[in-house]
Amino acid sequence: MVGRRLVFELLMVLALLGSASACSINRLAVRALSDVLSSEEGAAGAFAQDNDPELVAQALPFTLKLYDALLEQDPDNPALLRAAGSAYISYANAFLQIPASMLPPQEYERRENKIRRAKNLYLRGRGMVLRALDLRYPGIETAVRATQGDALQAALAEVKVEHIAYLYWTAAGWMGALSTDPLDLRLAMSIGQAAALMERAYELQPEWDNGAIHEFYISYYATVPEGMGGDRAKAREHFAHALQISGGVKAGPYVELALGVALPQQDLDEFISLMQQALEVDIDAAPQHLLVNTIKQRQARWYLENLERFFLIGIDDTEENDL
């Protein structure tokens, strides 16, 4: 349904091109196409309901550059900036960082190249969405980039519920970049700003986007060092909330808890259980999450097929036999 509507709206843009005067054609066409692509039922919705990650991976680069071209003509369009930024962040995660994590050791250079690209696009997307937020709330970008504490909290307190997506995607891009390069001290020292953005989103609507904020916190609390706010018990709490809110139709929470908690603790039984539960999710039950669920289930299946790369399997049995 979303795909058909998107095609219809694009055809309407073409009709506009044919009817507009030469003087106004560029401005009207750019704004019309921008409105289509930045809507929740636009390009993002069409991609989200696709079950072929390879097809989306091949199509997204064109869409990203189309966003860039439109922003050249319409640079102060906050909805377009938010859509473009979230698309860059999503591409960095789904088609660069996740595939890089599943490459064999002998493809080290290819892996590092994908990770470098992912960091670059995470930061590019973050910058776009943060600028979009600044267009909605002038001065907030300066406050977010330069301050913590009361000044930052005061700036974020102005953000309204209808702009949660701006908070979420800015924080997601920020933490995504840090996850690709934990030794980047500049990024690591700014983790407080990213956390503040997501905290404000959580205050406004904790169940937003079918539990997306809770999914963020699973990874956040599981991977951030304890001295900087990490807490695996909180990761488990948000896991439970994510499942409750989504009704169990998303594979992501299982995969995130497995990778963020069970794997570092070398809890093989829990790791296998969580990944198997991810595979048991009926991905057709929630079409709006079809693409992400397909990717997450592929990820879960790959880890289950490569357990020996991450766990010391069979060593205890071997030692007992030797004795």
CA–CA separation, 159 vs 146, rounded Å?
18
CATH code, domain with 154 = 1.25.40.920
Residue 31: pLDDT over 80: no
In a domain, residue 61? The reply is yes
Cβ atoms 164, 172 nearer than 8 A: no
Domain end (from 205, 238, 258): 205
Label residue 11 by pLDDT band (50, 70, 90): very low
Domain containing 22: what range? 1-70
Instruction: Give a yes or no: residue 42 inside a domain.
Output: yes
Whether residue 323 is contained in a domain is answered as no
pLDDT of 22: 47
C-alpha 213/C-alpha 197 separation (Å) is: 11
**Shared-domain flag, residues 102 and 128:** yes
Same domain as 286, residue 232: yes
Mean pLDDT of 74-97: 96
> Residues 166-206: pLDDT tens digits?
999 999 999 999 999 999 999 999 999 999 999 999 999 99
Q: Who contacts 80 (Cβ-Cβ below 8 Å, separation ≥6)?
A: 34, 37, 38, 67, 70, 71, 74, 132
Residue 315 in tokens: 């060593």
- Distance in angstroms between the alpha carbons of the first and the last residue of the chain: 64
Q: Is residue 218 part of a domain?
A: yes
Same domain, 245 and 288: yes
Identify whether residues 85 and 175 lie together within a single domain. Answer: yes
Q: Answer yes or no: do 90 and 185 share one domain.
A: yes
Write the single-letter amino acid at 72: E
- Does any domain span residue 318? no
Q: DSSP letter for 266, please.
A: T
Same domain, 240 and 294: yes
- Please give the pLDDT value at position 227: 86
Regarding whether 124 and 16 lie in a shared domain, the answer is no
In a domain? residue 254: yes
Same-domain pairing of 152 and 258: no
Q: Both 100 and 191 in a single domain?
A: yes
287 touches 298 (CB < 8 A): no
Mean pLDDT over residues 63-87, rounded? Answer: 94
Whether 247 shows a pLDDT value over 50: the answer reads yes
Q: Give the residue from 152, 186, 205 where a domain finishes.
A: 205
User: What mean pLDDT comes out for the span 159-170?
Assistant: 98
pLDDT at 13: 44
Structure confidence at residue 6 (pLDDT): 47
Q: Is residue 314 part of a domain?
A: no
* Rounded percentage of the chain residues whose pLDDT exceeds 90: 77
Residue 236 has pLDDT above 50, yes or no: yes
The 8-class DSSP code of residue 35 comes to H
Tokens of 128: 């776009």
Residue owning tokens 């906050």 = 78
DSSP symbols for 125-144: HHHHHHHHHHHHSTTHHHHH
89 and 198 in a single domain? The answer is yes
Q: Which of 54, 70, 86 is the last residue of a domain?
A: 70
pLDDT at 28 over 70: no
Residues 191 and 221 in one domain: no
pLDDT for res 150: 84
Residue 36 in tokens? 């289509």
For residues 291-295, average pLDDT: 97
User: In angstroms, rounded to a whole number, what is the distance separating the alpha carbons of residues 276 and 320?
Assistant: 29
Residue 284 pLDDT: 94
Contacts of 133 (CB under 8 A, 6+ apart): 78, 82, 140, 141, 144, 159, 163, 166, 167, 170
Angle formed at CA 185 by CA 198 and CA 133, multiple of 5 degrees: 30
User: What is the pLDDT of the chain when averaged over all its residues?
Assistant: 88
Q: 116 and 28 share a domain?
A: no
Q: How many domains does the chain have?
A: 3
Q: Residue 200 falls within a domain, yes or no?
A: yes
